[in-house]
Structure 1
């Protein structure tokens, strides 16, 4: 078996309108296809390197799940590398996005990091190498 790349990352959405605004309008991701699967819909966005973000909304059955950064489990966050975390933090605050960790220097990893939550409660990390 040879893994060639990550094809897509899926996020179950709580509110489609809020999620579209966040990923398309605030993060500026290019929206690709919308696929109606019958009982749910898939909305794809282009990520750098050919990977796609897949937002999935189940018609009438999405549930509200709350998580905290210290929660154990099988998934923690998605991390994106950016040119300037200061710009990211400013943009998030201007758009009323919850910043759960302000800019933090992480010497052991050689990065500055910021954590935010998307409209679905998914934690996103933005890092800048130093």
Structure 2
């Protein structure tokens, strides 16, 4: 029996703001979308154009308060082919929330406070 990772999900308060962030910060594009007839929620799947793994953003119509991320000890990691250029881009965006220069990585924070690790291509 084999398993394959397909997607990770996060819930977002402002779908359009999150879509803009993920496109600008990481180049993720909408791959598909699901919205039920009652419009109570929207699922948007984002892809990087090179892997099959996707990020699913879930927006709930009736949700108004920010999500409790606990201690926010989980994250998604993204590898970049131009670490220095990515760093400067994220610095200009003002979304870098933590740096570990010793390990050669840093983290950015999305509009809902989720942390995303950025690391150089190996």
TM-score past 0.5 threshold = yes
Mapping of 1:1-130 within 5 angstroms?
Answer: 1-3=1-3, 5-37=4-36, 38=38, 39-47=40-48, 48-65=50-67, 67=69, 71=71, 76-97=74-95, 99-102=96-99, 104-106=101-103, 112-128=104-120
Conserved 8 A contact 2:13-2:60: no
Task: Please give the TM-score of this superposition, normalised by the length of structure 1.
Answer: 0.78
Q: More deviation in 49-58 or 28-37?
A: 28-37
Conserved 8 A contact 1:10-1:54: yes
RMSD of aligned alpha carbons: 2.2
State the 1:103 CA deviation.
Answer: 5.2
In structure 2, runs of 5+ residues without a counterpart are: none
In structure 1, runs of 5+ residues without a counterpart are: 107-111
Rate the CA distance shift 1:40–1:50 in 2: closer, same or farther, 3 A. same
State the 1:104 CA deviation.
Answer: 1.4
